[in-house]
Amino acid sequence: MNGYKTLNPTEFDLKSWHPYMIGSVVPRPIAWVTTIDGQGRPNLAPFSYFNIFSSKPPIAIFSPSTSARTGDLKDTHKNLLEVPECVIHLVPYALAARMNITTGEYARGINEIVKAGLKTIPSEAVKPPRIAGTPVQMEAQLRQIISLGENPGAGQLMIVEIVRLHLAEDILDEQGLPDPRKMDIIARLGGFWYLRIRPENLFWMKQPRDPNEVMSWEDLPADIRESPILSAADIGHLLANPPQGGERLRNSSPPANYIEVHRKMKALLPHAPQQAWTLYLEALRE
């Protein structure tokens, strides 16, 4: 016993293993996909085995597995074999319950768009329609299918190239980019749990471009490294936002009242790490 439950996938059948898969990699975005069959009949279904994998070319992959019940290919997969085009939508919270309606395994040719009472918008570069009221819509063409097996539950990777991206104007920031604070989309978690992206759950963290922008843990003064007050997360924020010449602090002796200084620094984290450092440097000079 080391604090972990360790599992070997080969010892599980699909039904007992699947909940570990979908419960462990979370949150997953949901591709809500429209396709049409050879007769032009539309289909809409959600897939959370989904992400983007390349910006140029702009590539997304989602995976309608073979049916866990019948081993048959999903309608979305069959449609892509007949008409190799789709539109991928992100699901807004406002349409969460409608999305859930479209997951039912309806007979081929049943129009889930009508079932869920959704409205469509014509696409520009592909034949399947767009779903109105969704904030992000990607018209895409099928590039390749990679089958991961023929057994029930085996993933079938639909590798698609995005040929048009439509962004609702009310989700854009001043630069015209999607603003995550305005999107209110949902993502899939384990079981029947979902996540709703709300501004209060977001935080902002700039990616360091150059290694000198961050400080190395060994360069932290010993009192900070071993602080009984600052948490691992606090120290991470201090490392990611170092003071000028921070590497010179490595061998400095702690400020006289360092516990008190750490308390004041903690109060400034995570939002004002630079101020926390200024406070520390002032205490060192005292």
Ligand X SMILES: Cc1cc2nc3c(=O)[nH]c(=O)nc-3n(C[C@H](O)[C@H](O)[C@H](O)COP(=O)(O)O)c2cc1C
User: Can you give the binding site for ligand X, defined by CB under 6 A?
Assistant: 30, 43, 45-49, 63-65, 74-76, 100, 103, 105, 188
Nearer to ligand X, 63 or 227 (CB): 63
Residue 65 CB, nearest approach to ligand X (Å): 4
Nearer to ligand X, 75 or 85 (CB): 75
Residue 19 CB, nearest approach to ligand X (Å): 13
Nearer to ligand X, 46 or 246 (CB): 46
Strand, helix or coil for residue 261:
helix
Residue 71 CB, nearest approach to ligand X (Å): 12
Dist CA 255 CA 262 (whole Å)? 10
Q: Are 129 and 123 in contact (CB under 8 A)?
A: yes
Nearer to ligand X, 104 or 208 (CB): 104
Nearer to ligand X, 93 or 222 (CB): 93
Residue 155 CB, nearest approach to ligand X (Å): 8
Residue 35 CB, nearest approach to ligand X (Å): 8
**Helices of type H across the chain:** 14-24, 75-82, 96-101, 112-115, 180-183, 222-225, 232-240, 258-268, 273-285
Nearer to ligand X, 65 or 227 (CB): 65
Counting Cβ atoms within 10 Å, is residue 266 exposed (0-12), middle (13-18) or buried (19+)?
Answer: middle
Nearer to ligand X, 43 or 134 (CB): 43
SS (H, E, C) 28-64: EECEEEEEECCCCCEEEEEECCEEEEECCCCEEEECC
Q: Which of 153, 197, 189 shows the shortest CA–CA distance to 25?
A: 189
Residue 195 CB, nearest approach to ligand X (Å): 11
Q: Phi and psi dihedrals of 165, rounded to 5?
A: -120, 125
Residue 39 CB, nearest approach to ligand X (Å): 15
Q: Edge to edge, what strands does the sheet with 194-196 contain?
A: 28-29, 186-188, 194-196
The length of the chain is 286
Cis peptide before 152, with omega less than 30 degrees from 0? Answer: no
